[in-house]
Amino acid sequence: MIAYRAILDVPRELVQHVARLLRAERRRVGTRPGTRTLTCFHQALLVLVWFRKGEDKTTLGAGFGVSRATAYRYVAEAVRVLAARAPTLHDALRRVADQDWSHVILDGKLFHTDRLAETTTSVKGETIDAWYSGKHRDFGANIQAVTRPDGLPIWTSDAMPGHLHDLTCAQHLNITAALYWAASELRLPTLADSAYEGAGLGIHTPYKQPADGRRLAVDNRTYNAALRSMRCLGERGFAILTGRWRTLRHSTASPRQIGDIVRAALHLTHFEYRYLPHSC
């Protein structure tokens, strides 16, 4: 292999922030000084290179003078530490309400993965690939996200198998229950697309076109236009994450780990957008 100089386009403050979290984790588990190949700062740098560029961990480890196994271990440790700093859904909703935002936006996205052999039984009783999405015609994990009205993601979910519908994932993860609470207790309604039709009170979805081909009533078309104009910024949430952190675009890790990886990227995004709570 040939080494070369490169520049990582993240602020030095972010590297130092991640290094502080890793240093606290080493103290927590009782790591003795001088027993790690890389310092906390250089481990943080390695992890941010992986998030930002999505490099193969073998090549990434060689660039930092560590083995492939060590690179995997360093990245996994950092993902676990960063994901643990992400807010809970109730805390995220309460914070948005305290900042006087008018609503939040719910959306789902398939995060692409390599082909998987895990199977499950469909509602029709057929054996299907658990992580294959017929809608996207690809393998991946379904991640749900809640964003502010301006598109900044404030919370992301655990990974769910790609064959599941967005509404099914939201119900299984108790997201709809939390959004009902926000609508009733915090006066914070949720806007969503037609994939969440029937989600319940407080979660507003567009009216669907009648099956018999008739046009929607003018009031319903006006409602859909207004909803679409406010909800469209929610699409920006996943774009912020995948555009900034290239490793999210395709994963070779276990799909069940994608939820933690996305939460870790969310924490990094909140740091760059100065959205971390004061306790961080």
For residue 54 the two structure tokens come to: 């999505």
SS3 142: strand
Q: Which pLDDT belongs to residue 75?
A: 97
> 175, exposed or middle or buried, with CB in 10 Å at 0-12, 13-18, 19+?
buried
- The rounded distance, in Å, linking the Cα atoms of 62 and 68 is 7
Q: Which pLDDT belongs to residue 126?
A: 79
Q: Where are the alpha helices (DSSP H) in 139-253?
A: 166-172, 175-185, 218-231, 235-244
Domain ranges of the chain: 12-83, 89-253
- The rounded distance, in Å, linking the Cα atoms of 59 and 46 is 11
For residue 4 the two structure tokens come to: 């070369």
Q: What percentage of the chain's residues is helix, strand, coil (to nearest 5)?
A: 50, 15, 40
Q: pLDDT per residue over 233-274, tens digit each?
A: 888 999 999 999 999 999 888 889 999 999 999 999 999 999
Q: How many CA atoms lie within 13 A of 216 on its CB side?
A: 12
Q: Which pLDDT belongs to residue 279?
A: 59
- State residue 153 phi and psi, 5-degree precision: -70, 135
Q: Which of 193, 125, 119, 105 is nearest to 162 (CA)?
A: 119
> 219, exposed or middle or buried, with CB in 10 Å at 0-12, 13-18, 19+?
exposed
Below-70 pLDDT ranges, the chain: 279-280
Q: Which pLDDT belongs to residue 62?
A: 92
CB 104 within 8 A of CB 190: yes
Q: pLDDT per residue over 65-76, tens digit each?
A: 999 999 999 999
